[in-house]
Amino acid sequence: MLPRMSENKTIAIEHAEEAGRGAFFVAREGIRLAEMTYSRVDPELVIIDHTEVNEALQGMGVARKLLDFAVAWARKTSTKIIATCPYAKAHFAKDESIRDVLKA
């Protein structure tokens, strides 16, 4: 089990995509501690399907940081999102300011 990270430590979010699958993630010592995964439907559409945060990062808002990173990436790349992940789906429903990246 990894020790809990301190609240004031900077959380670096990374992004990787290969063969139609991608993730926004936080890693430490080569281990992914948090990730939001997606499948690419076409060059302009992805489906966010899962969000998971290790207990070492829970309570630090990491899942929301992953979502915000994904939204910023979608805006920058003109990508639309469909959310099937319960976490992402709930936050898109609650927060009107990020809905511009949702597929209509």
Domain locations along the chain: 14-96
Query: What pLDDT score was predicted for residue 14?
Result: 97
Per-10-residue mean pLDDT of the chain, 104 residues long, equals: 54 96 95 97 98 94 97 98 98 98 94
Residue range 14-96 in CATH 3.40.630.30: yes
Place of tokens 């997606």: 38
Number of C-beta neighbours around residue 60 at 10 A: 18
Task: Calculate the alpha carbon distances from 84 to 1, 49, 64, 102 in Å.
Answer: 29, 5, 16, 11
Contact 14, 66 (CB under 8 A): no
Query: What pLDDT score was predicted for residue 8?
Result: 47
